[in-house]
Structure 1
């Protein structure tokens, strides 16, 4: 009896071990080979339309069993066109898939695939190496409705004569045949976006643009428009650029100026240069801080209200004399040696000390704060990419976001920043480029180059 009892205990223990092993095997099978986690395919960018040429980027993934197959196709009018179909083998019978993630990049050209303009469906499928579904694997499936549009937008230029000055501004008005993602004027490598909203017709755009001071009559100007499907068209227009010569000037940098001004810029210069000679600090300010200051202006002027706030010519600082002009080429001289060169991107106007500064025209205050070499400054957005800039103020009397009318006092002249004496640094900018303020003080220039164009285009 004792032997039989011992045998029964041994058999029982073996059975327990077998059952435990079987349980572990079943658990392993269910959690690994029979896992039910669905693979994924994520488009890097939502796709709503396909143009004449389109790049589709996606990432397929399955973190457990690994990828088995990725398939992408377009369905149109009952016809299915396969764009991508790739299989990924397993690592042995029990090994599963070795690939957990696969980027997909497809260039789609509808004409080469015999796809027509119109509605279509993008279909995506992904399988993994799970044994679920009688070893067919987990499956991902998604559909994306889209439109195939291979026709580029048509551009109709409504303004005819564009007489421009080197360093000056221009306005062009044009109509586009369809909704667009982006349109505007290209001046060399610079782009000036156009905006709808001024006219009741949403297909009519206006674009203020600039001819940089260092771009001459040979510059190439044209309009581009890119629709929602990515199709881009280009249209030239008639224009003439008058060459301008800008003044050269020599700025002497005395030691007294350095002793008085450099402490104001210690937080820009940094501790590592705190013991550097004053002239080295000046060069850091005149070069690096100037560049950062201008970048702040450009960044501020990237966003402009799609409204034409201003009316008539822009105001000049009353009873003031011009001390420096737009695009003056300046040589900086210290103890008889030329140490630096810069271009002055505004007009310096001097009146009595702490003179009241009127807003040059109606607009919204986009910036009012310290601005590097320009000291206390104000930037006003006049709408559709046009801005006025006021530098070296002793006191600011407006707040950011405040609406101002032409003639409202926004502050007082001073000598903050890299100014040698009390004056106003006045500048004008279109989107990303400084332009000559003198044009905007001229009522005749504004009439012929802006107002008349808006009136004629409105009638047409």
Structure 2
């Protein structure tokens, strides 16, 4: 009887130890970073436009590390894997590039596609298979560039002056519209009726070259560039020398310098004059 009680007591202790070990193991699995349960994020809208020329950019990310991805493309009849692979170890963010298949597997007239994206992380959760995120992206194929027509513009523009242009821009999926002059951008404003725009364009006096272009880009990144036919007039500006008195620098120039922390500590009069007359003026243009 004594031995039987001892064996029973020993068995209970073993069971309790095993249960505690299992609970500890379960607690570790649910709390350890290696077993995190957060799925990767596929950062793309469900409905997008594509011109089939530029690669599709699909950003993906994970809170710990990405492991594997697969992207298939289909037109409702046929489907093909267009991208698949493993991420570099430790990668948390990546932009996946999707190119249109070159083997003409899809009907060229098809304007609707679906991209199925699957991304898995490196977690040991789900029996060491990781967390997987899946997303279906509906794609409208659009390869037509926006239409842009210059309706009216100033005959000429002079260096240091400005000119006006009125134009029409048409695209049902228009995304971006502006006037580009070198490294400067001018905003186009709606004019009179839908699809018509106007813009006032300036030619800085310190720029020798001038070329104005209308830039129109749609949601599929199809781009139209149209030159504005201005007659260009360069102008040579006379250089004048003006004598500045200390009274002017100590008065108006010092007041302007004091209003801006970038110039308030300048004590040298010549440096202060240059800072206000050149640096601040360019900054405020």
TM-score range, shorter chain: 0.7 to 0.9
For residue 61 of structure 1, what is the aligned residue in structure 2?
62
Aligned length: 278
Partner SS state of residue 251, structure 1: coil
Report whether the alignment pairs 1:22 with 2:16: no
For residue 157 of structure 2, what is the aligned residue in structure 1?
164
For residue 141 of structure 2, what is the aligned residue in structure 1?
148
Deviation (angstroms), 1:209: 1.4
Label 1:224 to 1:260 Cα distance change in 2 as closer, same or farther (>3 A): closer
Deviation (angstroms), 1:86: 1.7
* Structure 1 spans left out of the alignment, 5+ residues: 90-97, 295-460
Q: Deviations over 1:197-241 (max 9, x none)?
A: x232x222222212222345x633332211121111122343311
For residue 96 of structure 2, what is the aligned residue in structure 1?
105
Report whether the alignment pairs 1:83 with 2:77: no
For residue 259 of structure 1, what is the aligned residue in structure 2?
250
Contact 1:262 1:278 in 2 (8 A): no
Deviation (angstroms), 1:56: 0.4
Contact 2:46 2:137 in 1 (8 A): no
The residue correspondences of 1:199-214 to structure 2 (distance < 5 A) are 199-200=192-193, 202-214=194-206
Label 1:130 to 1:146 Cα distance change in 2 as closer, same or farther (>3 A): same
TM-score by length of 1: 0.51
Contact 2:49 2:220 in 1 (8 A): yes
Corresponding residue to 1:176 among 169, 174, 181: 169
Label 1:214 to 1:289 Cα distance change in 2 as closer, same or farther (>3 A): closer
Report whether the alignment pairs 1:226 with 2:217: yes
Deviation (angstroms), 1:106: 0.8
The residue correspondences of 1:312-391 to structure 2 (distance < 5 A) are none
Deviation (angstroms), 1:100: 6.6
Contact 1:121 1:143 in 2 (8 A): yes
Partner SS state of residue 242, structure 2: strand
TM-score by length of 2: 0.78
Partner SS state of residue 122, structure 1: strand
Deviation (angstroms), 1:104: 2.8
Contact 2:38 2:63 in 1 (8 A): yes
Q: Deviations over 1:300-336 (max 9, x none)?
A: xxxxxxxxxxxxxxxxxxxxxxxxxxxxxxxxxxxxx
Partner SS state of residue 212, structure 1: coil
Label 1:131 to 1:156 Cα distance change in 2 as closer, same or farther (>3 A): same
Partner SS state of residue 268, structure 1: coil
Q: Within 2, Cα distance between the matches of 1:168 and 1:22? A: 81
Q: Deviations over 1:128-153 (max 9, x none)?
A: 55563x77654322222231212222
Q: Deviations over 1:349-392 (max 9, x none)?
A: xxxxxxxxxxxxxxxxxxxxxxxxxxxxxxxxxxxxxxxxxxxx
Deviation (angstroms), 1:168: 1.9
For residue 354 of structure 1, what is the aligned residue in structure 2?
none
Label 1:146 to 1:284 Cα distance change in 2 as closer, same or farther (>3 A): same
Q: Within 1, Cα distance between the matches of 2:184 and 2:263? A: 37
For residue 227 of structure 2, what is the aligned residue in structure 1?
236
For residue 48 of structure 2, what is the aligned residue in structure 1?
48
Contact 1:48 1:147 in 2 (8 A): yes
Which has the bigger relative contact order, CA under 8 A and spacing at least 6?
2
Label 1:170 to 1:113 Cα distance change in 2 as closer, same or farther (>3 A): farther
Deviation (angstroms), 1:17: 1.6
Label 1:210 to 1:22 Cα distance change in 2 as closer, same or farther (>3 A): closer
Label 1:71 to 1:286 Cα distance change in 2 as closer, same or farther (>3 A): same
* Structure 2 spans left out of the alignment, 5+ residues: none
Q: Within 2, Cα distance between the matches of 1:29 and 1:284? A: 64
